[in-house]
Every structure is written in structure tokens, then in C-alpha cells.
Amino acid sequence: MKITVYNEFIHEKEDEDVQAIYPDGIHMCLKRFLEAAGHEVRTGTLEEPECGLTKEVLDDTDVLFWWGHMRHGAVPDEVVDRVYNRVLKGMGLIVLHSGHASKIFGKLVGTDAGNLKWRQSGDMEILWAIDQGHPIMKGLGEKIVIEEEETYGEHFQIPQPDELILISWFTGGEVFRSGCVFKRGRGRIFYFRPGHESYPIYHNPQVQKLLLNAVEYVRKPECEGPYRYGHVARAIDEIAEEMKA
Amino acid sequence: MKITVYNEFIHEKEDEDVQAIYPDGIHMCLKRFLEAAGHEVRTGTLEEPECGLTKEVLDDTDVLFWWGHMRHGAVPDEVVDRVYNRVLKGMGLIVLHSGHASKIFGKLVGTDAGNLKWRQSGDMEILWAIDQGHPIMKGLGEKIVIEEEETYGEHFQIPQPDELILISWFTGGEVFRSGCVFKRGRGRIFYFRPGHESYPIYHNPQVQKLLLNAVEYVRKPECEGPYRYGHVARAIDEIAEEMKA
Amino acid sequence: MKITVYNEFIHEKEDEDVQAIYPDGIHMCLKRFLEAAGHEVRTGTLEEPECGLTKEVLDDTDVLFWWGHMRHGAVPDEVVDRVYNRVLKGMGLIVLHSGHASKIFGKLVGTDAGNLKWRQSGDMEILWAIDQGHPIMKGLGEKIVIEEEETYGEHFQIPQPDELILISWFTGGEVFRSGCVFKRGRGRIFYFRPGHESYPIYHNPQVQKLLLNAVEYVRKPECEGPYRYGHVARAIDEIAEEMKA
Amino acid sequence: MKITVYNEFIHEKEDEDVQAIYPDGIHMCLKRFLEAAGHEVRTGTLEEPECGLTKEVLDDTDVLFWWGHMRHGAVPDEVVDRVYNRVLKGMGLIVLHSGHASKIFGKLVGTDAGNLKWRQSGDMEILWAIDQGHPIMKGLGEKIVIEEEETYGEHFQIPQPDELILISWFTGGEVFRSGCVFKRGRGRIFYFRPGHESYPIYHNPQVQKLLLNAVEYVRKPECEGPYRYGHVARAIDEIAEEMKA
């Protein structure tokens, strides 16, 4: 499958602790395990022209990953619109962690999804599987434990997801809807909560397995017949003519 | 509104600690605060003929509460069927705590909803409001804290609820979908998790307020036109005749 | 309740046939039957500054109606954002007919909801009630018949609605999801399909009754406790301190 | 994949017109095109012991088809319970046409799904695809036309489906939710409306393609870790011990 990974790529250059975890950026860590699973992976970062998400790249992408945090506002609206239109046409989108506050996620879900509680206090996170038998949980158990993570807490301002797959527990008393599928047009969006830059979340083999499952789940659907929009003749008249022919 | 409270009423007679909390039964505690809010309340218990849920009683009930635990199997199938049919016709149903394993709840949701994790270890429970602005949360804050409760943990084998209103956090590491609305026919079912017999949950003013809101929310809908089922003539022919007339 | 009706108000000034049906505009027709039911109603049109939807007006509005068709693009983005933010805070929104292609509707549902089939061929429309017992159908039967209407046909590019209440049948062979509830933040959005300007749809007593029910259903929810967003201390630490106090 | 087809198999023996369409029964017609696609197919009928749905057969079945009409009541409750338990564990179930009134369908959805309108008047049926990009529509267009079919009409007493894929239009003025996915436990149930015994519906290549897609969609999910139910120790204590080890 053809995957593109967008990463803001700021923390990894400015913060030594983050650099120790992701020396060449979060996107390169994701790229490596996605490639190891046989996918073809490109990357884009904020500093590249058009964030590396040109029309050519997106038109050739089945699934797009999105990691951003500090500079959501710096992503040009035309790039956001381009991603949006591709998702409606079927491109899968996997939004990671602080990507909840990105322009593209809010535009697709229809709320101010930046609204949630957060805290960095080294809490443990336990992700419990809620949707038994969901393809995204294939080969995984009923929970994933992350010893230390940034905490997010409800209320998370999203619409009721089409599928709620994971709910997180945090030491400090919070819960969070951490694995959510939204369907928009022909596209599927998977939001996955874990992944603060200062913890080695994307090196975790269970997280990698889950994200590989997610790639399969949100991948661009295989071809179906075209949908017509706009002005149409009566369906029954068209059918009658086809029957005659 | 006309409310009926069904309570198994066994623990309160057999266990002194429970008796200390609910001297005349959980049903009487519920009855008192429901009556104080102006409702007309009847009760039924397992030992009464037909559990006190005769056709006459149910036909005159807008909302039914259900608390049971040890003897779900002893409720006669015909009583279960009677409740089921009334719910499909619009009677509201509020299933409390261990009522998740009752025959009537499983029959309405369509899964083996007895399946969940549980433990009595004096954990604290924090119920977080997930569905912002939901009528069931009217006058309440973003969370309800219960200092000590029995713990329930996911996976809870229910279908995705029509509305997920509350998610619980427990000290021991578990989460639970604690406030769920299911719609079946004209009826609304609200499942509310808290209420183990050995803690004074139904004396808690916030719990009482939430349950009073729930009563309003699941109440039998006001009259709408009848729905016809079975053999029918063509709708367009009937409409043409009505127009002539 | 305080209601504001936005109407583009172009067809009624430019087209004599439409003027015959709505001499002072669709908004005035809506205003009259809403006022007759006891509501306080203001109106806004495209030609007014800020479409009549100033901050003062919206802050004082419980439910907003939206009718537009030819000039969706002329509504300023800042007005759209203002409505959007009010809906997330709880203001109800009722989007009528060709309002499906408005900026505000697409922004809230998260798809390009302008995509659908349409045709003006004097088809009959039968709206069938799908969600039995829904408050929006109170006092109405299992269907509403409109003798002549513009036809809309699926596929309608919306996400799966939180509640699907009405499905339309058209003479020409099309079907359409004509009554849909979406929930976003604290707000409820009701999309109602009928209402082409060249037919007297909003004079129809059944349509009026349904819209009055919808007003009740999407109205701003009564006050609940505030939700905190952003950086927070550990919930369990805060709770421990409150218990001490 | 291992598929079992249950067919009541009465009409085809008692009615010459039906026999002309399905000489050896609806189940054999389904079996043939499923086998042609590479599946391993067994059949069961009402007259066989346990309807042919023994424990051995069901334990070895990935997807079960269900066609019944006249004698739903004759299917033993223990067979229904056996199917029910297998679905909760992940076996896919495809319920066809008049199977809407079967015991197993009602038990899984939680309503009296026998309630709908019907009429045999040779209406044309147009099935419109509502869920764009859904795997069940792979390789199909935006609609399927069936020249003559029995009509079903709303209201159909089912809960809101997890996924609504097809809505039917009928000549006589009715609409119907004709392709619905329900999720229960680990299982997926697909209800597909067409298939009256007196029309050659299951010989239609588009219907066959759709049913083959549905088989893939509801197939038993691949293995995920086990879910524990019942009494458990504190998750955080178990995790702490595992970390030590």
C-alpha cells in the first residue's frame, strides 16, 4: 500500500530528549516499521513546500498519517482542503495524538476537537478494547499498557464516533476515547491517542501492530461504480430506456 | 409520571450490612426520592406474584426501574416478555447496576450482557460525562465521584449504544461504559452502572438527580399516529383516493 | 423560545411565481407560524449587514433556521464561524432544503453535503417516519405526503446521522434521507429536506407541526455544569483535596 | 471460507411456480454461486434433524445464511440459541428477505423485527447505495434494479443499524432499509431484503456479487487475544507483577 506520513518535525529538532527517542523524527520511525511490513512510504514535514503534501503525492496515497502539535496553524488551508477532498474520495487518514487539534481533523469531524484535558505527569495509560472483534485489534489482547504517557482526559469534543474501539484509563483519574473511527464520504479516519513526543510510544511493538491493522482498515476502498451528483433525469425513465435497449 | 420499581429484594433481607443501608429495600429508597419529585410510584419484588409486574401494572407504567442480582433466572419468562413488549410500545426502562445480567436487558440489547469484569475492592469510581449537553446530565457537572463502589470493567458485551453518556474510571485500572441509552421500538432503555447493594449509592443526591433526569428522558413518548404493519395496498393508490375525497 | 430565521431572500424578490407563494419571503412565513406557537422570532437576510446574524442576535438565539440556495458563497466566513461556535455551545440549528449546500452545514457535518441528485419535475414526495416514537414526529402519522416538490436523490454525501427520522420516496424512482439529526458539541442540528421555493411547503400544516416539534428537540440544552478544557491537575488529587475540605 | 446455508425449503416443494425458479431449493441456488466463488458450502433445511445446524456444523461455519418464511416457529429454540451464541463469538450471519421475522434475527437485534408492511403486486424495486465506499458495494454501482419483487415498506421495527447501506424504492410508494449491518459481540449480521421465492432474485448476478461481498464483510474475525469475564484482580496490580517478572 502507498502510505504518506506527515510530521510537523519541530520537537525532534529543538528538544534533545525528544531527539534521543526519535533521532531523525517521528515520521522516520513510523516509516521504518511501515516499510518493514511491506508498504511503500513517503514522508512530508511542515518545512517542506506544501508540507510535502502536493497534489501528486496525495493522488498517489492510500493512507495518510498525521502528527502535529505546536504549529497546526502553519499548515496552509489549501493543503488542508486538498487532504480533506482526498479523504472524501476514499484516502484513509490516521490522526495521531496531538493531531486531534489539527485543522484537518476538526474539519472532518465537525467540532472543535482541540478541546480536551491534558497533563504531563508520567501517568500510566491502559487502553482497553471496547469493540470486540474489530479488525484494528487483530492479534492483540484486550488491553495495551503504556507505562508512562502524557494524559488526555474527557471531555473530548468530538461527535459520537462511528466506531469506538479503545478507551484509556490514566493513573490520575482520567478516561479518554483513544481509538475512534469516523467515516466521511468514502474515507475512513482513525484517531489514535498515544504518541507524545517525549515517550517512545511508536517504538512499542503493540502500538506498531495496532497501527498496521489500522492501515488495512482505513485503506482506500476498492473501486465501486461511480456516484452521479447534480441534475438527473427520472431514474425510472432511465431504467425503462435501458430495458428497451 | 407513573413509575414502577422492580427490586429483587433479597440482599436487603439476608445481609445485615445491606439492611443498614436500605432497611426496607432498594425499591423503597428509589420510591421515596421519585415520589418527592412528584412522581406516582409503585413497586414490585421477586417474591410477589408475577414479580408485581402484572399486565395491569405495566399497562399503567411510563417508566420501569429494574434492580436484580442473585435470582435473575427466577423471573418468569412471561413477565420478561410482558416488559419487553411494553418497552417496544414506548415504556421507558432504567436498568440499574447488576441488572445488566437480567433476562430483560439481554433480550432488548441482543447480546449476553452479563459478560463483564467485576471485583469488590472498595475502589473509587469517577463517572465522566462524555455526551456534553445530554438531558440526562442537566444540572450536573462534568463528573460524579463515588468514593467506594464495586468495580465493573470492560469488556462489557453490549452493542454500541445509541448514546454513550458516561464512562467510569476505577482506582484499580478499569474503565466502564456506565451510562448508555439504547432505543428499541418506541422505547428508550437507560443502563446506569452504579448501585451495589453494600454502598449507599441511591442515597447520593447527584445519583438521584441523574436518575430523575433519566426518568424524563426515557418516558413514554407522547402520542403519534399509529403505524400500520402487515399487508397493505399501494401507498400511492391510497393517497390518490384520499385526494379525490 | 428565542428563534432566529435566516433566509437568503432572493428568489422571492426575483421570481413572480415564488412571490405569489411567499409575498414577504420564506422567513416571514416561518416567522408567522413560529410566533403563533408562542415563540419570539427574529429574522435575518443575506442583504442585511452580517446577514442579520450579529453576535448580539446569535447570543440571544436558542434555535436558528437556515434557508439558502443561490448565494451560499456570499455568506461571510466570519458569520459562518460565529454560527458554528454557537452551535457547539448548544444553539439548535434547523437546516432547510437547499441549505444542505450551505457553508455552515458542511462545516458541521464534515463532508461536502452539497453532493446529491436533484430535479424539478413535479414529483410527489412521501416522507416515511423511520424512527418510531421520535419527539419530532409527535402528533404526526407514519408519513407526510407532499403532492408536488423538487426531487432530491441519494447519494447524499453526509456522515451517518446520529438519528435518521425520515426517508422520502419520489415518483421518479429516487429515495432520500430527509430528516436527519446530527449532534455536534452541545448542539443539535436537524436537516429537513422539503421546502423548494416554488411550492407552498411551509404553508403545509403537517410540515409546520413537524418544524415546531423540531424546535423543541434541538433547543439549547438547559444548564449543566461547566466542562474544563486545557491543562488540569490530577483528578484524584483534586478530589482528595475536596474531600478533606 | 466455510459457509452454511439454512433454508426452510417448503415453498419450493409445494408451489410449482417457485419450483420452476428454484428446482432444488433456494439453498442449492445460493450454494452453487458461493461454491463457484471458491467457498466450501453446506446446507441445512427445516426437515433435517436440528435443521441441519448441529453443534458440529456451526462450530465449523464462518458465515451462516438464513432464509425462512412460513415456519419460523418450527425452528427449535435450542437451535436458535446455538446460532445466537456462535454469532456472539464471531460467526457471520446473513439474513435474507422474510428471514426478518425469524426467531434468530429478532433475538439478535432486540426488537419485534417481524413488523413491517408487505404486498405482492409486482412492483419494481430500486436499491440505492447509501454508504458510499462500503465493502459490500465493491464492484457495484450506485443502485441495483429488480424489475419485479414483493414489496416491503417502512416502518421496519429494527434498532438503528450500525451501518445502513441500502434503501429501496418501490413503485407503489414505499421505501425500506434493505441492507443493514448490526454488530453483536464479535459477530456481524447483514440483513438483505430482496429474495421473494416467486422471483428469480438469487439468480441475479448483481445480487450474487453483493452477497459474495457480504460474506467477506461478516466473516468471522481473525483471532484477537481472549477477553476475560467474571471476577478479576485489580488490573494495576496484575500489571505491576508482570513488570517485575
C-alpha cell recorded at residue A171: 493513573
CB C180 within 8 A of CB C165: yes
Three-state secondary structure call for residue C137: helix
Q: Counting Cβ atoms within 10 Å, is residue C191 exposed (0-12), middle (13-18) or buried (19+)?
A: buried
Task: Report the Cα C187 to chain-centroid distance in Å.
Answer: 11
CA distance B154 to A126: 12
CA distance A217 to A190: 9
Tell if the CB–CB gap between C133 and B185 is shorter than 8 Å: yes
Tabulate helix, strand, coil % of chain C (nearest 5).
35, 30, 35
* Alpha carbon of D137: minimum distance to chain C alpha carbons (Å): 13
For the segment D116-129, the average pLDDT, to the nearest whole number, is 97
Tell if the CB–CB gap between D229 and B115 is shorter than 8 Å: yes
φ, ψ of residue A191 in degrees (nearest 5): -100, 130
CB D118 within 8 A of CB B232: yes
Tell if the CB–CB gap between B128 and A177 is shorter than 8 Å: no
CB D221 within 8 A of CB D90: yes
Give B147's contacts (C-beta < 8 A, 6+ positions apart): B124, C243
Residue D162: other Cβ atoms inside 10 A? 17
Three-state secondary structure call for residue C96: strand
Closest CA to D200 of D22, D28, D68: D22
pLDDT over threshold 90, residue B189? yes
Greatest distance between any 2 Cα atoms in chain D: 73
CB pairs under 8 A between A and B: 58
pLDDT over threshold 80, residue C125? yes
Tell me which chain A residues have a C-beta less than 8 angstroms from the C-beta of D88.
Answer: none
Band the pLDDT of D221: cuts 50, 70, 90.
confident
* Alpha carbon of A129: minimum distance to chain B alpha carbons (Å): 7
Query: pLDDT tens across C7-52, in order?
Result: 999 999 999 999 999 999 999 999 999 999 999 999 999 999 999 9
Tell if the CB–CB gap between C110 and A184 is shorter than 8 Å: yes
CA distance A182 to A190: 7
Give A49's contacts (C-beta < 8 A, 6+ positions apart): none
Query: pLDDT tens across B78-89, in order?
Result: 999 999 999 999
Band the pLDDT of B9: cuts 50, 70, 90.
very high
Pick B164's closest partner by Cβ from A131, A160, A168: A160
Residue C34: other Cβ atoms inside 10 A? 21
Three-state secondary structure call for residue B242: helix
Query: pLDDT tens across A37-72, in order?
Result: 999 999 999 999 999 999 999 999 999 999 999 999
Tell me which chain D residues have a C-beta less than 8 angstroms from the C-beta of A227.
Answer: 129, 132, 142
CA distance C39 to D229: 53
Residues of chain B whose beta carbon is less than 8 angstroms from a beta carbon of chain A are: 126, 128-132, 142, 153-155, 157, 160, 163-164, 167-170, 173-175, 177
For the segment A18-36, the average pLDDT, to the nearest whole number, is 98
Query: pLDDT tens across A192-225, in order?
Result: 999 999 999 999 999 999 999 999 999 988 777 7
pLDDT over threshold 80, residue C225? no
Residue of B nearest to A142 (CA): B155
Closest CA to B133 of C146, A101, C87, A35: C87
Band the pLDDT of C224: cuts 50, 70, 90.
confident
Burial C109-126 (b: 16+ CB within 10 A, else e): bbbbbbbbbbbeeebbbb
Tell if the CB–CB gap between C223 and B137 is shorter than 8 Å: no
Three-state secondary structure call for residue B137: helix
Whether the full predicted model's pTM is greater than 0.80, yes or no, is yes
Q: What is the pLDDT of residue D195?
A: 98
Band the pLDDT of A159: cuts 50, 70, 90.
very high
CB D137 within 8 A of CB D183: no
Band the pLDDT of B222: cuts 50, 70, 90.
confident
CB C95 within 8 A of CB C102: yes
Q: Counting Cβ atoms within 10 Å, is residue D190 exposed (0-12), middle (13-18) or buried (19+)?
A: buried
Residues of chain B whose beta carbon is less than 8 angstroms from a beta carbon of chain D are: 85, 88, 107-112, 115-119, 121, 123, 153, 155, 157, 159-160, 162, 171-174, 182-185, 227-237, 239
Query: pLDDT tens across C76-90, in order?
Result: 999 999 999 999 999
Pick B225's closest partner by Cβ from C124, C140, C235: C140
**Residue D193: which H helix or E strand, with range?**
none
Q: Counting Cβ atoms within 10 Å, is residue A14 exposed (0-12), middle (13-18) or buried (19+)?
A: exposed
Residues of chain C whose beta carbon is less than 8 angstroms from a beta carbon of chain B are: 90, 124, 126, 129, 131-135, 137-143, 145, 147, 169, 183, 185-187, 221-228, 235-236, 239, 243
Within B55-132, residue ranges assigned H as helices are 55-59, 77-88, 103-109
pLDDT over threshold 80, residue B76? yes
CA distance D82 to D71: 18
Tell if the CB–CB gap between B132 and A160 is shorter than 8 Å: no
Query: pLDDT tens across C198-219, in order?
Result: 999 999 999 999 999 999 999 9
Pick D135's closest partner by Cβ from A141, A143, A221: A221
Beta strands D2-7 and A143-153: pairing type?
unpaired
Band the pLDDT of D222: cuts 50, 70, 90.
confident
Tell if the CB–CB gap between A155 and B142 is shorter than 8 Å: yes
Tell if the CB–CB gap between B157 and A126 is shorter than 8 Å: no
Q: What is the pLDDT of residue B148?
A: 97
Chains in contact with C, where contact requires at least 3 CB pairs less than 8 Å apart: A, B, D
Band the pLDDT of C107: cuts 50, 70, 90.
very high
Tell me which chain B residues have a C-beta less than 8 angstroms from the C-beta of A130.
Answer: 154-155, 177
pLDDT over threshold 80, residue C223? no
Band the pLDDT of D226: cuts 50, 70, 90.
confident
Q: Counting Cβ atoms within 10 Å, is residue D50 exposed (0-12), middle (13-18) or buried (19+)?
A: middle
Chain C interface, best mutation among B123, B132, B243, by max C CB count within 10 A: B132
Residue D24: other Cβ atoms inside 10 A? 13
What is the C-alpha R_g of chain D? 19
CB B11 within 8 A of CB B36: no
Query: pLDDT tens across D82-98, in order?
Result: 999 999 999 999 999 99
Task: Report the Cα B215 to chain-centroid distance in Å.
Answer: 9
> Residue C154 gets which letter from DSSP?
S
Burial B15-49 (b: 16+ CB within 10 A, else e): eeebeebbeebbbbbbbebbeebebebbbbbbeee
